[in-house]
C-alpha cells in the first residue's frame, strides 16, 4: 500500500509540475468566451465589436468573432481588477467580463471560474485519476500468491473502480470544455470534482439494486434451511441498507432547491457526505467481493509440502457435516492431484481444537476422516489446540517449522472463507495459499458477507478515520466551491 501511495504522490507532483511549466512558459494568456447567436455573430462580423475597460492599465485584449461566440484573448499587464464591457456598432450591450489579475500575472474569470492555464489543469486532473486507476489495478494484479491475502488488495480493487469512474467523468468534461468552451466552464470541473461521490453512486445504482435483490433472495433461501438468527441475516440486512442508502441519495439529489447560496452549500455538503459514506462502503464491498471470488477460484502450484485443513463445527457422533467434509475432500483432492502431477506427497495438518459442544477436537475428527479416505497415518500431523482461524494458522506454522522450516503450505477451507483465512495466515507469519471447497448457492453469499464484516472488524478504527477524512475533504470542497 505504501508503494502505491508513493506512486500516486509522484504522479501528483509530476502533474503539478506540468501545470506550472505550462502556465509560466507558454500559457500566459487567458481566453474568455462569450456566447452569441449565429445571426448576431454575422452582424458583429460585419459591424465589429467595441470593448471598453474600467482599468485599461490592468490588462488588454482582442476580440475574435466566431459563428456562435466571441473569443477574447486577454493579456495581463499588472495586478488588479478589471471590468470589461462589450457593445455592438449600435452601442447595444452584449455582455461583460469581471477579471482579476494576481501578482503572478494569472488572470481569474470571476464569472466562470476560469483562469490562465485552466485547460492544462483540467488535463492534469483527468490524467491523475486515470493514472490512479491504473496504479490501483496494476498493484491488484501484482499481488499474487500469499501476498494477495491483504487488506490492501481490497483497497486496490475498490478504489480502482472509483478512480476509473471519476477519471472517465473528468475526461468527458475536459473534452467538452476544450471543444465547447462556451457551454462548459471551469465551474463544470469544480462541480464534477465536488460531486464525484454522488456521480459514482448514481452511475452504479442499477448494479447495486440488482446485487441487493440477488443478495436478499439468497438470504431468504438460507433462512428456509437454517435457523433465524442475526449471523444468518447479514445478507438481508445488507440488501436493506443498500436499497435505503440509494433511496436516500436519490431523494437528496433529485429534490428541487430554492434558497440562499449558503443554504445551497449546506445542502450540497449534506448530499456529498451521504454519497461519500455510501460510496466508501460500496468500494470496500466491491473490492471484498472481487478479492473473495478470485481467492476462491485460485489454484496453487502443485509443489506443496503441507496441506492445512481448517476445522469448524462437527456432529456429536464425530462425523463431519457437509461444510467440514467439503474442506477435507478439497484437501484430499489437491493432495492426489499434486501426487499425480509431480509425485510429491504432502503432509496433512488437520487443525482445530475442541468446542464446548464437540466430543473431540476438530483436528482429531478430521484426522479420523482422512484415515477413512485412505490417507496414510504417517502423513497426518494433527493440530488440536486452536480456537479460531488465527490460531489455526499460528499453531500449524509451529508444526511446519518443527518438521520442515522451508516447507511450502496450502490451506483448505470453504470458498467464502479463503480470502479472510489468507489474511489471518499472513498476520500469523505463515506463507500459505488457499483452496476453497464449494457450498450451497444459498449459503455462501450470506456467509461471505459475514466474512467481509469479520475482515473489517479488526480495522474499524482505521476505516472510520479514513472515512472521516473523505467526508471532511468533500464537505470542505462543497462549502468552498458549492
CATH number at residue 77: 2.60.40
**Residue 259: predicted pLDDT:** 60
- Whether 278 maps to a domain, the answer reads no
Any domain includes 390: yes
pLDDT number for residue 151: 86
Give the model's pLDDT for residue 82: 92
Tell me the residue range of the domain where 361 lies.
306-444
Residue 222 lies in a domain: no
CA distance 10 to 67: 43
For residues 171 and 125, what is the distance between their CA atoms, to the nearest angstrom?
9
Query: Of 386, 424, 430, which Cα lies nearest the Cα of 407?
Result: 430
- Cα separation, 214 vs 413, in Å, equals 24
Residues 361 and 395: beta-carbon distance below 8 Å: no
Tell how strand 409-414 and strand 306-310 pair up. parallel
**pLDDT of res. 127:** 95
Q: Does 220 map to a domain?
A: no
Element (H, E) at 469: helix 460-481
Position 262 scores a pLDDT of 66
Grid cell digits, residue 236: 438481508
Q: Which of 57, 88, 109 is the C-terminal boundary of a domain?
A: 109
* 351 in a structural domain: yes
**Cα–Cα distance between 335 and 437 in angstroms, integer?**
14
CATH of the domain at 396: 3.40.50.620
- Quick check: 223 and 152 in contact, CB under 8 A? no
Instruction: State residue 249's pLDDT score.
Output: 79
CA distance 381 to 73: 80
Q: Can you give the pLDDT at residue 326?
A: 94
pLDDT at 261: 61
Cα angle, residue 166 at apex, residues 162 and 172 outer, rounded to 5°: 150
| Contact of 129 with 167, CB cutoff 8 Å | yes
Under 8 Å between Cβ of 369 and 331: no
Domain-located, residue 476: no
183 is a domain residue: no
What's the helix, strand, coil split of the chain in %, to 5? 60, 15, 25
Count of the separate structural domains present in the chain = 2
Mean pLDDT split into 10-residue runs, the chain, 482 residues: 88 92 84 87 84 89 87 91 88 87 91 88 92 95 89 89 86 87 80 76 86 88 80 86 85 68 70 81 87 90 94 82 92 95 94 87 93 93 93 95 93 92 92 91 82 75 78 67 54
Amino acid at each position: 500500500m505504501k508503494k502505491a501511495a508513493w506512486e500516486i504522490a509522484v504522479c501528483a507532483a509530476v502533474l503539478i509540475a506540468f501545470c506550472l511549466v505550462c502556465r509560466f512558459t507558454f500559457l500566459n494568456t487567458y481566453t474568455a468566451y462569450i456566447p452569441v447567436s449565429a445571426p448576431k455573430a454575422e452582424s458583429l462580423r460585419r459591424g465589429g465589436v467595441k470593448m471598453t475597460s474600467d482599468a485599461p492599465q490592468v490588462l488588454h485584449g482582442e476580440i475574435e468573432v466566431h459563428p456562435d461566440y466571441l473569443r477574447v484573448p486577454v493579456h495581463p499587464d499588472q495586478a488588479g481588477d478589471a471590468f470589461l464591457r462589450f457593445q455592438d456598432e449600435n452601442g447595444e450591450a452584449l455582455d461583460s467580463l469581471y477579471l482579476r489579475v494576481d501578482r503572478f500575472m494569472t488572470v481569474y474569470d470571476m464569472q466562470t471560474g476560469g483562469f490562465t492555464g485552466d485547460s492544462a489543469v483540467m488535463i492534469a486532473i483527468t490524467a491523475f485519476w486515470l493514472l490512479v486507476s491504473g496504479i490501483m489495478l496494476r498493484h491488484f494484479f501484482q499481488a499474487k500468491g500469499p501476498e494477495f491475502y491483504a487488506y490492501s488488495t481490497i483497497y486496490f480493487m475498490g478504489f480502482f473502480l472509483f478512480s476509473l469512474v471519476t477519471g472517465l467523468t473528468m475526461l468527458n468534461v475536459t473534452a467538452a470544455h476544450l471543444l465547447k468552451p462556451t457551454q462548459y466552464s471551469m465551474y463544470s470541473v469544480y462541480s464534477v470534482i465536488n460531486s464525484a461521490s454522488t456521480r459514482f453512486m448514481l452511475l452504479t445504482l442499477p448494479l447495486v439494486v440488482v446485487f441487493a435483490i440477488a443478495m436478499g433472495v439468497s438470504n431468504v433461501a438460507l433462512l428456509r434451511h437454517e435457523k433465524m438468527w442475526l449471523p444468518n441475516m447479514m445478507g438481508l440486512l445488507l440488501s436493506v441498507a443498500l436499497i435505503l442508502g440509494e433511496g436516500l441519495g436519490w431523494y437528496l439529489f433529485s429534490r428541487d432547491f430554492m434558497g440562499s447560496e449558503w443554504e445551497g452549500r449546506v445542502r450540497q455538503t449534506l448530499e456529498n457526505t451521504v454519497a461519500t459514506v455510501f460510496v466508501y462502503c460500496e468500494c470496500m464491498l466491491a473490492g471484498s467481493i472481487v478479492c473473495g471470488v478470485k481467492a476462491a477460484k485460485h489454484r496453487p502450484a502443485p509443489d506443496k509440502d503441507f496441506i492445512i485443513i481448517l476445522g469448524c463445527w462437527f456432529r456429536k457422533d464425530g462425523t463431519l457435516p457437509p461444510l467440514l467434509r467439503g474442506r477435507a475432500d478439497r484437501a484430499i483432492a489437491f493432495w492426489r492431484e499434486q501426487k499425480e502431477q509431480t509425485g510429491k506427497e504432502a503432509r496433512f495438518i488437520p487443525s482445530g481444537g475442541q468446542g464446548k459442544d464437540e466430543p473431540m477436537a476438530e483436528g482429531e475428527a478430521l484426522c479420523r476422516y482422512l484415515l477413512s479416505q485412505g490417507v496414510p497415518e504417517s502423513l497426518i500431523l494433527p493440530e488440536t489446540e486452536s480456537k479460531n482461524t488465527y490460531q489455526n494458522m499460528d499453531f500449524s506454522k509451529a508444526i511446519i517449522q518443527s518438521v520442515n522450516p522451508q516447507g511450502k503450505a496450502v490451506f483448505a477451507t470453504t470458498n467464502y472463507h479463503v480470502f479472510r483465512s489468507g489474511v489471518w495466515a499472513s498476520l500469523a507469519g505463515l506463507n500459505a495459499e488457499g483452496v476453497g471447497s464449494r457450498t450451497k448457492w444459498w449459503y455462501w453469499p450470506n456467509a461471505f458477507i459475514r466474512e467481509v464484516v469479520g475482515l473489517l472488524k479488526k480495522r474499524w478504527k482505521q476505516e472510520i478515520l479514513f472515512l472521516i477524512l473523505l467526508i471532511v475533504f468533500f464537505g470542505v470542497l462543497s462549502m468552498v466551491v458549492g
